[in-house]
Structure 1
Amino acid sequence: MEEVRSIDPSGETTDPFAALTRKRVYIETYGCRYNFGDTANLVEVLRKYGSSCVGSPEEADAIVINTCTVIAPTERRMLRRLFAFQDKLLFVTGCMPLVQRDSIFAVCSPKVITPDQIREAYLSVQTVAPAGVGIVQVAKGCLGRCTYCITRLARGPLTSFPQEEIHKKISAFVDAGAFEIQLTAQDVSAWGQDKGQILPDLLTGICTLQGNYRIRVGMMNPATVIGILDELVDAFKSEHLFRFLHLPVQSGSDRILKRMGRGYTVQDFEDIISAFRRRYPGINVSTDVIVGFPGETADDFSRTLDLIGRIKPSKVNITRYSARPFTEIFTEKDVPDSIKKDRSRILNTFAEKQYTTVNHLLIGTIVSCVVTEKLKPGSVVARTASYQGVVIREDLPVGTAVDISLKKDRKYFFLGDCVSKALPRIQCVKETSDFIG
């Protein structure tokens, strides 16, 4: 394998992975699916160095912490984990060493492996491990100018990865037994916009690949969806795509969205949801909301509640605003923690009541799914065409098509009983609301 080289502060050329050669390595990964994709790539690189991964730090010769720093509580947790392993052969990667190196070296003295070094090394390996779910990175960085986001400072401007590389990795995962392929980036819908291409072109190409699989398109920014909306809606017609949108809105107030630098309005967001639902009535919509953003008033928060009530998403990921260093809004006056906590609780309770109302109507119905993941012996996760999760207590192979009777609602997933099953195959996805939304 061609060695990956970098320049250390002394000016010498070094291999960042050399110290991990033939080691037993324990890896902890935090944050987004992109980080988990980096870890999966790192594992494959380490195999080529004669190393193996172990399940606990006690078994390990070396520790790798793949860090996240999206909010302050996560940053503090990262620093505690790094401090706990300071006496070990310790490596750190992820977002923190890219933007908060001084904070890391204040608590320990690890070796740093950057995400770019992992990517460069992986390109000379390009193997995948057998799994029910495969993570495929399609780009790094973003086109956004969000005033509060440290991740864009860590990952830099948008760099879209080549279609051929993405196709090759998807095919490798499918050949290795994966059914669910998760496309991930800091903003998946921005793919190609740095190279005169657009995401629908990528999705259309992916869906010509052979095999038994479905694609889950990862988080998309409404600001980069707006300009490609018609083409994107049309691309979702393929049976190889889950009818699932992860579209963060962050606030239901245009005033706050402008302060956030998000680049779209509430109406833009609702127009995107409406366009997809007109074509695919059963599509599953997940969104993200930040509560307690600097300057957010009770009226702004009320507008967010109203928006969630109108769009009725299947999941709302709620984050209390956390000031991040080096961001434009870092020095702005913060909303008191007590107000953030209250708003987070109110929004979560409101959202969960909606899940319960919708899900209750589905108890006792039979839905068509495909097994995507094994949880533990005797239990698997199956997904509907709209990506609703159903746990069934049977030991079935990934890719098995099943009809499931929904028995219990767990808000974010269902428990069900299998009423029929077939060998792994692709099911045709109807353009109706036959699937759970």
Structure 2
Amino acid sequence: MEENRSGDPPDTMDVFAALAKKRVYIETYGCSYNFGDTANLVEVLKYYGSTRVESPDEADAFIVNTCTVVGPTERRMLRRLSALQEKPLYVTGCMPLVQREAILSVCNPVIISPDTIREAYLRVRTVAPGGTGVVQIAQGCLGHCTYCITRRARGPLASFPKEEILEKVRAFVDAGAYEIQLTAQDVSAYGRDLGTDLPALLSTISDLPGNYRIRIGMMNPATVLPVLDELVDACASDRIFRFLHLPVQSGSDRILEQMGRGYTVQEFEEIVAAFRSRYPDISIATDFIVGFPGETEDDFSRSLALIGRTKPAKVNVTRHSKRPFTGPFAEKDFPDSVKKDRSRLLNAYAEEQYSVTNRPLIGTTVSCVVTEKLRPGSVMARTAAYQGVVIQNDLPIGAAVEVILKKDRKYFFMGDPVT
């Protein structure tokens, strides 16, 4: 295996043959797509007689599935890889696709390309039992965001065949999953390279039999716009959670243009309005980047105002960090103190909006379904609008239950089953 430690991606069979029948410890970082890669990797390792272990002390080999979306994450990755440099180490994920030399500066691992995992998995095609199944529907994107390293790592859009996706959904449902998470770098771009689209895929998946619901993953407003009406219609199915993850990134058109996002604030709000008009209780999550080069106080105020107008159920805030192979930006980067202040302000304001939205729901009764076992005697359930409700009961995955909402925890509720 030594020849694979610094050069081209090794042959698929060589990598997994080297891991055959070993106890493997895996750490996964980043987005749901990476967790989908890890789930596939685990099934391949099972095929080769390997065992995934939960403790590093039990492991014969270590695999780190990396993320490098922002600077702090990159630094965390390099520290972790350095700490494991004396172990039998394998590295996959986005980082080796764009920062191989940075990895090799701190350790000497075997590199496993994500494409290698996919190639091997397509020969296995098994899934693990559990309440949630991650189904990758495409890799890459159509975007040209000026700050994004992921598009360089994952490349242009490559949608996966419909039958492959349907087969995996069926497998997860048969294995007991209730929540099917569709994931990609940009879910709403699905099919543009195949002559089809996401609404058509959703309609086909919704026709599959079984007890399950679909959670649509992250979508770029720019690729939602061409299919907006059809997507709103497709979400009428009871099979689909009334939930959108729609990153807006800024409330300023000037900053959105510099980011290369391909839509305006008004167009983002039109998407939100179209879904809320049809589904008033829909949960909408969004993302913001603060401290983007050139972001003025007025630009930042526009982001705050957008949160106030749209009242998302969840806001993810990222402090801008310059990434390799992105930009260039003429404007000087902000000091960390400015980005921290803006991040705190945006988060605090978003949490105020959560309270405004959630407060009237306390004491009401909602219908939900158990999707995840959190720990013995505690489960997570989801309403049709994907509101999370933690229930202190040991209920089975897929169990439908009526719950009285007792406490607002900002990002989820605590609830008691109706007796």
Scaled by the length of structure 1, the TM-score of the pair is 0.93
Preserved CA contact (<8 Å) 1:188 1:219: yes
Separation (CA, whole Å) in 2 of partners of 1:226 and 1:10: 40
Aligned pairs for 1:263-282 (under 5 A) are 263-282=262-281
Aligned pairs for 1:131-150 (under 5 A) are 131-150=130-149
Name 1:54's counterpart in structure 2. Answer: 53
Paired residue type of 1:123: L
Name 2:33's counterpart in structure 1. Answer: 34
Residue-by-residue CA offset, 1:92-145 (whole Å, 9 max, x unaligned): 000000000000000000000011000000000000000100000000000000
Q: Quote how far apart the aligned CAs of 1:15 are.
A: 2.1
Preserved CA contact (<8 Å) 1:97 1:112: yes
Name 1:102's counterpart in structure 2. Answer: 101
Name 1:174's counterpart in structure 2. Answer: 173
Name 2:205's counterpart in structure 1. Answer: 206
Q: Quote how far apart the aligned CAs of 1:11 are.
A: 11
Separation (CA, whole Å) in 1 of partners of 2:20 and 2:118: 18
Separation (CA, whole Å) in 1 of partners of 2:186 and 2:169: 19
Preserved CA contact (<8 Å) 2:405 2:413: yes
Separation (CA, whole Å) in 2 of partners of 1:114 and 1:49: 18
More helix by share: 2
Separation (CA, whole Å) in 2 of partners of 1:203 and 1:20: 37
Name 2:294's counterpart in structure 1. Answer: 295
Q: Quote how far apart the aligned CAs of 1:9 are.
A: 4.5
Name 2:161's counterpart in structure 1. Answer: 162
Preserved CA contact (<8 Å) 2:9 2:111: no
Paired residue type of 1:358: T
Paired residue type of 2:408: D
Q: Quote how far apart the aligned CAs of 1:16 are.
A: 2.2
Name 2:395's counterpart in structure 1. Answer: 396
Separation (CA, whole Å) in 1 of partners of 2:346 and 2:145: 23
Residue-by-residue CA offset, 1:256-281 (whole Å, 9 max, x unaligned): 00000000000110000000000101
Preserved CA contact (<8 Å) 1:179 1:398: yes
Preserved CA contact (<8 Å) 1:287 1:315: yes
Over 3 Å counting, the alpha-carbon distance change for 1:8 and 1:390 in structure 2 is same
Preserved CA contact (<8 Å) 1:150 1:326: yes
State the secondary structure of the residue aligned to 1:16.
helix
State the secondary structure of the residue aligned to 1:17.
helix
Residue-by-residue CA offset, 1:257-314 (whole Å, 9 max, x unaligned): 0000000000110000000000101100000000000000000000111111000000
Q: Quote how far apart the aligned CAs of 1:329 are.
A: 3.0
Preserved CA contact (<8 Å) 2:9 2:112: no
Scaled by the length of structure 2, the TM-score of the pair is 0.97
Paired residue type of 1:282: D
Separation (CA, whole Å) in 2 of partners of 1:57 and 1:296: 43
State the secondary structure of the residue aligned to 2:344.
helix
Aligned pairs for 1:24-423 (under 5 A) are 24-329=23-328, 332-420=331-419
Preserved CA contact (<8 Å) 1:139 1:161: yes
Q: Quote how far apart the aligned CAs of 1:184 are.
A: 0.3
Separation (CA, whole Å) in 2 of partners of 1:286 and 1:7: 40
Q: Quote how far apart the aligned CAs of 1:19 are.
A: 1.5
Separation (CA, whole Å) in 2 of partners of 1:43 and 1:81: 21
Aligned length: 415
Separation (CA, whole Å) in 2 of partners of 1:9 and 1:213: 44
Separation (CA, whole Å) in 2 of partners of 1:188 and 1:12: 30
Over 3 Å counting, the alpha-carbon distance change for 1:246 and 1:12 in structure 2 is closer
Separation (CA, whole Å) in 2 of partners of 1:347 and 1:287: 12
State the secondary structure of the residue aligned to 1:352.
helix
Paired residue type of 2:397: V
Residue-by-residue CA offset, 1:304-344 (whole Å, 9 max, x unaligned): 11111000000100000010011123675201211111111
State the secondary structure of the residue aligned to 2:169.
helix
Paired residue type of 2:230: E
Name 1:432's counterpart in structure 2. Answer: none
Separation (CA, whole Å) in 2 of partners of 1:265 and 1:374: 40
Greater alpha carbon shift after TM alignment, 26-35 vs 337-346 = 337-346
Identity between Structure 1 and Structure 2 (%): 71
When the two chains are superposed, the root-mean-square deviation of aligned CA atoms in Å is: 1.5
Preserved CA contact (<8 Å) 1:324 1:330: no
Over 3 Å counting, the alpha-carbon distance change for 1:254 and 1:141 in structure 2 is same
Greater alpha carbon shift after TM alignment, 287-296 vs 348-357 = 348-357
Preserved CA contact (<8 Å) 2:5 2:110: no
Q: Which aligned runs of 4 or more in structure 1 are off by greater than 6 angstroms? A: none
Residue-by-residue CA offset, 1:187-239 (whole Å, 9 max, x unaligned): 00000001111100000000000000000000000000000000000000000
Preserved CA contact (<8 Å) 1:323 1:329: no
Paired residue type of 1:184: T
Preserved CA contact (<8 Å) 1:70 1:149: yes
Paired residue type of 2:255: I
Preserved CA contact (<8 Å) 2:6 2:104: no
Paired residue type of 2:73: T
Separation (CA, whole Å) in 2 of partners of 1:319 and 1:292: 9
Q: Quote how far apart the aligned CAs of 1:8 are.
A: 8.7
Separation (CA, whole Å) in 1 of partners of 2:230 and 2:325: 36
Separation (CA, whole Å) in 2 of partners of 1:402 and 1:331: 55
Over 3 Å counting, the alpha-carbon distance change for 1:255 and 1:331 in structure 2 is closer
